[in-house]
Chains A and B, each alone.
Chain A
Amino acid sequence: MNMEAGRSFSFVFLSGESAVRAALKRITGALEDLELTREEIGSAEMVLGEVLNNVVEHAYGAHLSGPIELRGERLTGAVRFRVRDRGTEMPQQSLPRGGLPPMGNSLADLPEGGFGWHLVHSLALDLSYQRADGVNELCLTIPCQDAGGPNSDRVFS
């Protein structure tokens, strides 16, 4: 019996660096309740950390603050997340791509940033972004095993 499917959580918080930390703590707690493994929770935390910090640093920026709404829904073999904010839209109204920053040829050339979207693209599936009525909406999926392991009986209904 798969009663896990369809379970969800959602909350709203005010943009800010320490607010992201608190939100991630709340998310990892909710994912523990949804019986994700430590590794899956680690991936989700990494991806959502990058996405939420991007909202704080770029959509709202240093001089603005506003609400960020987060929703997670347990599906079969995955958790689907939706992040909404009322900040500035993404440049070109599209998601940044995922490549790694150039490594350069010397110590001084090593990149100190530009890793975030690469991590997001590496760990999340089905990324989508849309802007409507002044709201940014980003959706993504983190794959995970269903309770009972990958070989447990699944209920498709």
Chain B
Amino acid sequence: MDITCDEQSDMLFARVEAERIDAAAALQFKEAMREIAGASGAAHVVLDLSRVEFVDSSGLGAIVAVMKLMGNTKRLDLAGLTPTVDKVFRLTRMDSIFTIHADVADALALHRAG
């Protein structure tokens, strides 16, 4: 799965370039994120979902799995949820588990403000 990474102010921004994180892509997504998080020293990772139009229950499970594999030493936030993706998080109450930023700029501004 194509994920673009950008490190700024000790934060790692990982933008998913795929339109879908679904049952067919969930495993690839999880493995790609495992590698990315492992290779970076950043303790704060923001998953940018602004290009993702669709996440199903398998994709949602994979995003939770990524948060879990970062353990208690790294933090995973989400940014840029498109309407259908936002709905999946709200309906499953997973919006209460993650810090969700409107977009990457918001996440960065909040981080810089301390």
Contacts and interface: CB of A to CB of B under 8 A. Distances in A.
Interface stretch (B39-47, B66-74, B102-110): B66-74
A51 B54 CA distance: 15
Contacts of A56: 23
Contacts of A114: 57
Nearest to B90: A122
Q: How large is the interface on A (under 10, 10 to 19, 20 to 34, 35 or more residues)?
A: 20 to 34
Contact of B24 (A17, A100, A122): A17
B22 A49 contact: yes
A7 to B, nearest CB: 24
Contact of B23 (A39, A53, A118): A53
A45 B56 CA distance: 9
A123 B64 CA distance: 22
Contacts of B94: 115
A119 B61 contact: no
B24 A112 contact: no
A49 B56 CA distance: 7
B113 interface: no
B34 interface: no
Contacts of A123: 91
Given A49-B56, A118-B92, A119-B92, A110 B83 contact: no
Interface string A53-73: 100110000000000000000
A56 B65 CA distance: 22
A26 interface: no
Nearest to B71: A107
Given A46-B88, A100-B92, A115 B67 contact: no
Contacts of B65: 112
Contacts of B22: 20-21, 49, 53
Contacts of B52: none
B87 interface: yes
Interface in A9-31: 17-18, 20-21
A122 B88 CA distance: 10
Given A17-B23, A21-B24, A110-B68, A50 B57 contact: yes
Given A107-B68, A112-B68, A122-B91, A45 B60 contact: no
Interface of A: 17-18, 20-21, 38-39, 42-43, 45-46, 49-50, 53, 56-57, 100, 103, 107-108, 110-116, 118-119, 122-123
Interface of B: 20, 22-24, 54, 56-58, 60-62, 64-65, 67-68, 71-72, 83-84, 87-88, 91-94, 97
